[in-house]
Amino acid sequence: MEEIKRLLKVRMRQKARKPDFRHPYAHTKLRLRDKSWRRPKGLHSKWRERYGGKWSGRILVNIGFGSPKAVRGLHPSGYEEVLVYNVKDLEKVDKERQAIRIASCVGMKKRLAIEEKAKELGIKVLNPTQR
How confident is the model at residue 114, as a pLDDT? Answer: 97
- The whole model's pTM is what? 0.75
| pLDDT, greater one: 25 or 116 | 116
Is the pLDDT reported for residue 48 higher than 90?
A: no
How confident is the model at residue 22, as a pLDDT? Answer: 82
Asked whether 112 and 125 are in contact (CB, 8 A), the reply is no
HEC letters along 28-65: CCHHHCCCCCCCCCCCCCHHHHCCCHHHCCCCCCCHHH
* Banded pLDDT at 50 (limits 50, 70, 90): confident
